[in-house]
Amino acid sequence: MAQKAEEQSGELKALGYELFIAALSVLSIVNLLLLLLIRYESLEYIIYIINAVMTPIFLGDFLYRFLTAGSKSYYLWRDFGWADLLSGLPLPHAKVLRLFRLCRVSRLFARYGARNLLDHYSSHRAENALMTMVFLVIVVLEFGALAVLQAERVSPDASIVTASDALWWVFVTITTVGYGDRYPVTNLGRLVAVVLMIVGVGLFGTLSGFLANRFLASSASREPAAPAAKPAVEPAAEPAAETAPADPKAHFAALKQMLAVQEQAIAELRAKLDEIEALL
């Protein structure tokens, strides 16, 4: 019955895509909990900005699932499509509806198993590299900005004092650009900077390697195989091996005939080589 329902709604999609949306769904629920705990306005703004970045992704996910659903009415009303739509809109109180996305996450793990999902991701790293990078960049931006702003808020000389300052500084740090217009002045903030620089180098270096491997593999698969070089003279087919006749004279005659065939092939090959040498 569950498999039939999935066929009607067009669920589930590719495993790499499902893992990406599942990870974003979990992050969005974590952000809702953080908003209940955080009481500093600039830290709240960081979460609001990250939620604004994820909103079009969730809206695009709804459109993708709706347009590819086997039964659009089933997806909308029985597979929480309406919750996907509302949670993808820029409505502050509708984000709690992303809890319904966790139902899809649980169904994903129940169907395939955590070990199988990890094995699939490991064997398709290059294909999932872009989605993995997008998710990791979002995570590093959010928690890096929260960490550095929390560390710098205690210093009167801090240059990172707002949510936009923190997000801008984290982005230029993980991309190793480092404009220098914003920088941490506290020891804890500098420690955050060291971690972000290491993460940034590893993140974008790994992404470059995966994408290069992907592009090279795609180019190799599109190139037609080079045709095998045709020999100038096709060697004469050797006669099928036969059982040696009992008569020694007949056996000698067969061997002599085979030798004549080989001599003829050698003579033709020598003539072709002479023609090529004359041309050179």
Does residue 145 contact residue 166 with C-beta atoms inside 8 Å?
A: yes
Instruction: Give per-residue pLDDT as tens, 206-259.
Output: 777 777 776 776 666 665 555 555 554 455 444 444 444 556 777 777 777 787
Ranges under pLDDT 50 in the chain: 1-10, 232-233, 236-244
3-state secondary structure of 19: helix
For CA atoms 68, 69, 75, 80, the dihedral sign is negative
- Rounded distance between C-alpha atoms, residue 273 and residue 265, angstroms: 12
Structure tokens at 110: 């129940």
- Rounded distance between C-alpha atoms, residue 256 and residue 249, angstroms: 11
Which pLDDT score is estimated for 244?
47
Q: Report the chain's mean pLDDT, rounded to a whole number.
A: 79
Does residue 169 contact residue 128 with C-beta atoms inside 8 Å?
A: no
- Rounded distance between C-alpha atoms, residue 47 and residue 42, angstroms: 9
Long-range contacts of residues 158-164, Cβ cutoff 8 Å, at least 24 apart = 158/184, 158/185, 158/186, 158/189, 159/183, 159/185, 160/184, 160/189, 161/42, 162/42, 162/45, 163/42, 163/43, 163/45, 163/46, 163/49, 164/45, 164/49
Instruction: Give per-residue pLDDT as tens, 200-216.
Output: 888 888 777 777 776 77
- Residue whose token pair is 């004359």: 278
Which pLDDT score is estimated for 27?
92
Does residue 160 contact residue 245 with C-beta atoms inside 8 Å?
A: no
For CA atoms 37, 39, 41, 42, the dihedral sign is negative
- How many other β-carbons are positioned within 10 Å of the β-carbon of residue 99? 15
- How many other β-carbons are positioned within 10 Å of the β-carbon of residue 187? 9
Does residue 81 contact residue 66 with C-beta atoms inside 8 Å?
A: yes
CATH number of 125-221: 1.10.287.70
Helix axes 15-37, 99-112, angle to 10 degrees: 140
3-state secondary structure of 239: coil
Structure tokens at 9: 């709604």
Which pLDDT score is estimated for 195?
94
Which pLDDT score is estimated for 115?
80
* Domain extents in the chain: 1-124, 125-221, 243-280
Q: What is the DSSP string of 156-223?
A: TT-S--SHHHHHHHHHHHHTT---SSS---SHHHHHHHHHHHHHHHHHHHHHHHHHHHHHHHHHHHHS
